[in-house]
Structure 1
Amino acid sequence: MPGRDETTTAGHQLHVLPRQLPVFDLKPGGGLELVMAGERKYSSKFLVQKMRRWMHVAITWSFNSSENDFKVAVFQDGVQVACGTEVWAINADSDLRLGPFMGNLCEFRTWAHAKSASEVELSMYRRCGGEEPGLECCLSLRPARGLADSTVDPQKVLESGHAFLDRGQCEGDVTWDGDCPRQLVDAHVQIPVEPAATCPVCSLPFSNESQYCRECGQKRPLKQAKPEFQKLDADPWTDESLQRAWTWLDSRHETEASLRRSLAEHREAELEQRQVQEQQRKAYLELQERRIQQEQEEAKAREEEANKHLMEVDLVQRQAGPSLLRRLASWTCPFSGL
């Protein structure tokens, strides 16, 4: 099944919640936790800081045909913090929901493939342009930047004007923070790298000058430095770019919705055709039954008519028998006097 990742967020109590498992939790006072079918849990060793700090979170899963299981991984700020295997199938058609969350959300993305650790790190600070390979959906949750459409069902429009034109809808109250800062840069912006602060294997912090982990000996990797957003000259989130992004998203949803409508109409036409054929079959069976019944009634009438005729002949014969005997008894032989 295609992989699904990722969400950029901060705070705690985030649930990326489909209709069925898996369920992803960002627990208060703890780390990231992914709960799969069968209640199996994948927990991060990194604790979530309670202070106002933005972080990037990614969840990936992909099917391994050789081992017949799912590979599951959780990333925090580009570092893999939990991984494992699952034998439970994941329902690709389940609804994906963002449940209760106390904090801020900047952007939510879904992909058609499971990204590697390097791919997650490469894209976590970069804004999607809408043409990235495998990008299924990219939703900006910045307030007052959405597009309003009076033809859209009001139940499917968020308070800021963002609209899920296909199947999505807003349930309950949604509040918008106008102070949400820019967290992503354009794809062409060069992001510098810096030595990782913690070991990706044992989660222990590196010393200032050390190039190897003192616990496991892992070489200190380089990672992308978080961009200095306050130094950017202009906000790339213009109305024009958002218009293009939402036009792309709406056209994608409209294409998928049109395909589903075509399939539904095709199934409805097939159902109507089967109903007509069933009605014709029933009418033919009823006609055959009426013909058989008519033939049986005609045969019964002929049989009754034949029986009646035989009875009349028999009655005539019985009535004619005594009269002949009486005539014979009264007859005198003409030669009796000789």
Structure 2
Amino acid sequence: MARDRRDAALVFLPRGQADSVRAVAVEHYECPIPGCDSPVPLSTRGGSKRDHFWHRRPHAHPGGPESLHHFQAKHLVAQWARAAAAAGGVEVAVNEEEWSSDVRRRPDVLATWPDGSRVAFEVEYKSFPVAAWRAKDDAYRAAGIVPVWLFGHTPERYLKPERRAGRARGEGEPPAFRLTAITACAAERGPVLFINPVLGLVGTLWDRGEDLETVRAEDRRWFISRGRRVGDPRAVSPNRDASFDLALSELRACALDVSRGLVTPTMSAIEVEARRVQDAAAADRVAITSAARAARASGRRAVARQVRSVVPAPPSAPGARCRVCGNELDPILAAAGRHVLC
């Protein structure tokens, strides 16, 4: 990331563009990190690493690499949110100077919809006590602001690889990860997301790495909890002893959502598959109920037929007879007791 001195715009270097941008970078770009002691000159590099800007002179950034990643991440998120919200009238601000008065916190990025709905994006690289995280998350929610937490990709403070004996993945398999104290708390309230501003990637931590089409709905969750089903609003304690998968997506492929903030392709796939499974289960329940009703009706008809075949019909009552000849009388002559000619 660099800042163009001509218009103060931030510039993200696309992959494979180091050579084509180098001349412009040397002449017009500077380091955007506040407090950098050597903001110019900058140049570009590629090769074995992702294309990036670099200082041509010795330099120091206040706060070290974590502050650099944090700065890059929040501006990358702001750029993405502005692009995603361009047609919806959503105002996106990187709040470096203005405070959000109702929560007495400064969100890294704040998106405000025309109806007043707000989403706060928080990028976390430095150590953050669990109690402080809960207090900040609670304050956002109490103010009606949707908080989206994006944990930093480095160091292993939040994204901890699985290295326990018997738990690590084999060679060629995707790595597994464990929950930390703070990500376990975050998992109780929503998706556990990570950001890599260098590569422009967002990671979704989720349970089970099988193909989405073959996993039951109750096993498909980003909440990292063995006892919680998709759509279950109850908060439970995530299983910190388990291992989980990290699905990576480009930030530009994610959606900006007023109720959830940031929706990754993995989250969308989980939700779509969960709805499909739930709809299929509902259809199965309807089919089972209909079949049961048909079976009961058929059973009742069979029982009725069996009863009719076993129980003989009651004999009809005998008719009146002529008291003269003894033959049966027509009902009309029953009152007279005899035939006309008898």
Q: TM-score range by the shorter chain?
A: under 0.3
Highest relative contact order (Cα 8 Å, sep 6+), 1 or 2? Answer: 1
Structure-1-length-normalised TM-score = 0.27
The structure having more radius of gyration, on CA atoms, is 1
Structure-2-length-normalised TM-score = 0.27
